[in-house]
Amino acid sequence: VSLSARAALMSAVYGKSLRIRGSSLAGATLGEVVNLMSTDTGRVVNFFNSFHELWSLPFRLTITLYLLYLQVGVAFLGGLSVALMLVPFNKFLATRLIRNNQHMLRHKDTRVKLMTEVLFGIRVIKFYNWEPHFTQKINACRKEELSHLKALKYLDAMCVYTWAALPVVISILTFLTYTLLGHQLTAAKVFTTLALVGMLIIPLNSFPWVLNGILEAKVSLERIQRFFKLTNQDLQAYYALVSPEDGQTSILMSQGTFSWQDPDGPDQNEDRGTDPGESKGSLRLHSLSLHITK
């Protein structure tokens, strides 16, 4: 399923890039399209593995906590309270993870775009000795990308460390609460409780990885959806099938106008009241005629 989803997403992104209107494509750089087909597609596909962990982890935690209740009674709430206290902290980590993911992907798009332009124009760059300038720009983008990637790894390590240390804290607080309630600890109860707490290690250690994978898939899915919402090219807005009066004519263009401006948008020259030849801010070709006979 994941391989089929990867192929379908890559084909959909590639097909969409061929149908986007030229004015809309200006907002989607080549580097962004490349990252959508590689990094973002991979993150969305990895969500298929995290999805089953998402519903199975609460199920396993519930069963383990119920077995703890059978062993130590309400004393297990002493350890469970620590896990509940970590919920706001995890929400804070999740917010920072999403934010740094978005910033990192934006700088990665810029870096890939610059690298693509450098590779396409390497002859011109070497001819004019522009290597130091482009190297500086690429290193600046890479530095920003690595700074957010570094923050992501620190946040990820903090999340993993917190949940990895949680079973030990749960054991200590559970035994402490059980003793304060006036119960006597026995070897059988202690070892059984430790075994049940050990069963919490796998789901608790898996939780930060599942959370990180889901958040990354969410950010990547939003980027792909934003790309799919770009306006497609409407060929009928530019071309009309009209039979020429002269039967010998194959192609006829009369007083054609070409620009990057949206054909449905307002005419900037009319608003300014200037001559078409004096338009500024966008490339526009006016009054082009062409006649090709058979």
Phi, psi of 82 (to 5 degrees): -65, -40
The residues facing 258 across adjacent strands are 285
Per the listing, tokens 């490339």 go with 283
For the record, the structure tokens of 83 come out as 């896990």
254 three-class SS: strand
Domains delineated in the chain:
2-228 (1.20.1560.10), 235-293 (no CATH)
For the record, the structure tokens of 86 come out as 């970590």
Greater confidence (11 vs 55) lies with 11
Of 269, 247, 248, nearest to 257 (Cα)? 269
Which of 61-75, 137-151, 214-228, 229-243 is the most confident on average? 137-151
Of 160, 163, 167, nearest to 193 (Cα)? 167
Distance CA 203, CA 18 (A): 44
Q: Give CA separation, 136 vs 125, 130, 132, in Å.
A: 13, 10, 6
Res. 97: pLDDT tops 80? yes
Res. 279: pLDDT tops 70? no
Strands 249-259 and 284-293: antiparallel
Q: What is the pTM of this model?
A: 0.56
Phi, psi of 245 (to 5 degrees): -70, -35
Distance CA 263, CA 228 (A): 21
Distance CA 48, CA 1 (A): 8
> What does the pLDDT look like over 152-202, one tens digit per residue?
899 888 887 887 788 788 888 888 888 888 888 888 888 888 888 878 777
Which of 31-40, 192-201, 220-229 is the most confident on average? 220-229
For the record, the structure tokens of 207 come out as 């939780």
For the record, the structure tokens of 115 come out as 């690298």
- pLDDT number for residue 139: 92
